[in-house]
Chain A
Amino acid sequence: MPANMKPWMITSLWPKIVPIVILFFLFPLFLDDSALSLITEALILALAGTALNILLGGCGIVSFGHAGFFAVGAYTFGLLLYYHLASFWIAMILAILAVILYGIITGWFVVRLVEIYFALLCLGFAQVIWVITSVWYGVTGGDDGLNGIPIMNSLYSVGNTYYFVLTVAGICLLAMYLMRESPFGRYLHALRDNRTRAAFIGVNTRQSIYIAFVISGFFCGIAGILIVIQLHSAFPSYAGFIKSGDFLFVCLLGGMYNFLGPLVGAFLFIFLTFFICRYTEYWPLFMGLGIVLIALFFRGGVMGFIMNWYRARKVKGGC
C-alpha cells in the first residue's frame, strides 16, 4: 500500500465486508435465542482469538497464557458488580484498567524471554490467576465461580446482549485491523519474519513486542468482560490451560496469517463443540487431535486453504 494511502481507502474490501456486517445486525430478526447465544459466544471467542493473533500471526509469538487476561477482565468486572462496588460502566472501565495493568506488569517479565520461555511464562502467570480465583473461596467462590452477577437491566435479554457484544466486538476488530495495517502493525510483521533484520533496520523489537503484548491482552480482557455480560458468571477455568488452548486452537483452525482467520476459526469452533459435545465429554481429545493435524498438514488453517484455492483459481483463470 502506498505511503499516503489510508487503510479505509482499500475500497475493494467494503463490498465484501459491509453485507456481512449488515447480515450480522439482522440476525436477531430471524434467529431464535439459542442460536443468537451461540453466535454471541462465537463473537466473544473471535475477539479473544483475534487478540491472541496479534501476537501469534502478527509477531510470530506464541502465548500459552492468554486466558490470564480473559480471567482478569472477567473477574475484575464480575467481582465489582457482584459486591456492588461499582456501577456497570465504572466496573467496565476499572476492569479494562486492571487488564492493562496485568499486561504491563506481566509483559515486563515476559518480553525478556523468547519463544517457548515466553509461552510458558505466560502460562505461569495465567496459572497464578487460576490459583487465586480457585483458592480465594470466600471472595471469588472458588471452583463454583461467581454466579448471578448483576448487570445492566436492559442487557438481560438475549437480543440486547447480542447487539451489545456485536457492537463492542465489531469496534475492537476494526481497531485491531487498523493497527495491523498501520506502520506499527508492519513493524510487528517485520519482526515476525526476521527479528534480527528488523532490529538492524531500527525497529525497537523489545518495545514493539511489549506494546503488542499489552494491546493483545487488552482486547482479550474485553472479551472476558463480554462473557460475564453474556453468562452472568465467572469461573476459574477462564484462566485455565484449556481456555488458552481454545484461543490458540481458534487461531490455528481459522488461519493465523489472515486477519479474519480467528473469526472464522471461532465460528467453526463453536459449531464443532456444539455437535461434538453432544456425543462425548472428551472434547480436549478432539481438540488436541485437531491441533496436531492442523499444525502438521494445514498450517494456514481454513482461511489459508481458501486463499490458496482462490489464488490457484485466479491463476488458472488468467491463463
Chain B
Amino acid sequence: MTLDTLFLQIVSGLSEGMVVFLCAMGLTLILGSLRVLNVSHGSVYMIGAYFVVAGNAAVQALPGHFYIALILSTIGTAIFGGIIEILVIRPLYKLEHIFQFITTFGITFIVMDLVKIVWGGSYYTINAPAYLQGPIIFHGFIIPKYNAALIVLGIVLFIGMQFLIHRSRLGLLIRGITVDRMMMSLFGIDVARLYSVVFMIGCALAGLGGALVAPISAAGPGMDVTVLIKSFIVIVVGGFGSLGGALLASMIVGLVNSFGILLIPKAAMGFAFFVMVVTLIFRPWGLLGKPIRLE
C-alpha cells in the first residue's frame, strides 16, 4: 500500500469517525445529563440522513440548497426528538433503567419501519455542494474536500459544545440538572422543559451527523443499528460523559473501521469491537473517563 492510499484511508477514517462523533456526542450528552440511554439515537441519526435527502429534493432549485437542507434536517430532527421526548421519554425518567432501555429499543423498531413505509427500502444519496467535491492536492497527497470539511466541522462543533457546556448560561443549567435535578427545580428552573431542550440538542447533533454523511455514504436501512453500535463503542472507549473522550474514541474507531474495511470488508466493525473489548479489559472507565468502578 502506497503512502498516499494510506493517507487517503486515514482521512476517510477520520471523517467517518467525525460523523459517529456527532452522534456519540448527542448520546453522551443525553446519557450524562438525563441519565437515559437513548437506544433509539441511531434511529435519530438515520432520520437526519433521510431528512436531508428529502430536504435537498424539496429545495433543489434554491442556491445553497445543500446548506438549507442541512439546516432543515437538523431542525427537523430536533423537533422529532422533542416529540419523542414529550410523548415517550418523559414518563420514563422515574422508571427503572430496564424500562428506559426497553422503551427506547421499541422506538427503534417503530422508526425503522416508519422510514421504510415513507421512503421504502432503497438507498438514497445526495451530492455535496460543487466546491466541496473533488480533492485538495497537498504536497502530492490527495484529500477529498468533503471529508476534510467533515473533520474540520467535527472539531469546530466539539469546541462549540465545550463552550456551550462550560461557558454559557444554558450549559450552566445543563450541568446543574446533571448534578441535582430536584435542587434546580427548587431554584425555579423549568426542569422538564430543560430536559426536553437537552434531548433536542442531542437529537439535533445526531441528525446533523446523519445529514452530513449522506453525500459520502448512503441513507438506507440498517444505518441506525450500525451507528448505534459504533456510538456505543465510542462512549465506552472514550469514557462515559466525556466529550473529549468521545472525540478521541471516534477518531480511533473511525480509523480502525476504515483499515478494517481494507482487510475484511463486511467484518470491519469487528475490529472496532475488538478495540472496545480491549478497553473493557484494561481500562473499563474509558480513555478519558474517571477511574471509577463500573459496578
Contact = CB atoms under 8 A, between A and B. Distances in A.
Contacts of B19: none
Contact of A115 (B97, B108, B270): B97
Interface residues of B, number: 44
A237 B37 CA distance: 25
17 contacts: A109-B281, A116-B101, A117-B294, A120-B229, A131-B267, A131-B270, A135-B267, A241-B225, A245-B105, A285-B113, A285-B117, A292-B88, A292-B103, A292-B110, A295-B106, A296-B103, A299-B99
Contacts of A112: 280, 284, 294
- Interface centre among A242, A285, A292, by most chain B C-beta atoms within 10 angstroms, is A292
Contacts of B273: 124, 127-128
Given A117-B236, A296-B88, A291 B97 contact: no
Contact of A62 (B98, B114, B264, B295): B98
Contacts of B229: 120, 123-124, 127
- Interface centre among B98, B108, B112, B236, by most chain A C-beta atoms within 10 angstroms, is B98
Contact of B270 (A128, A248, A289, A292): A128
A113 B294 contact: yes
A64 interface: yes
Contact of A114 (B108, B116, B294): B294
- Interface centre among A60, A134, A284, A290, by most chain B C-beta atoms within 10 angstroms, is A284
Interface string A143-183: 00000000000000000000000000000000000000000
Contacts of A206: 295
B113 A288 contact: yes
B266 A295 contact: no
A307 to B, nearest CB: 19
B266 A131 contact: yes
A250 to B, nearest CB: 12
Given A112-B280, A282-B113, A60 B98 contact: yes
Given A60-B98, A115-B101, A285-B114, 9 more contacts: A62-B101, A112-B280, A120-B228, A124-B233, A128-B273, A241-B225, A248-B102, A288-B109, A292-B107
Interface residues of A, number: 43
Interface string B80-108: 00000000100110011111011101111
Given A62-B98, A113-B280, A284-B109, A295 B267 contact: no
Contacts of B96: 60
Interface of A: 56, 60-62, 64, 109, 112-117, 119-121, 123-124, 127-128, 131-132, 134-135, 205-206, 241-242, 245, 248, 252, 282-285, 287-292, 295-296, 299
B103 A291 contact: yes
Contacts of A120: 39, 228-229, 232
Interface in B101-136: 101-103, 105-114, 116-117
A221 B68 CA distance: 51
A291 B102 contact: yes
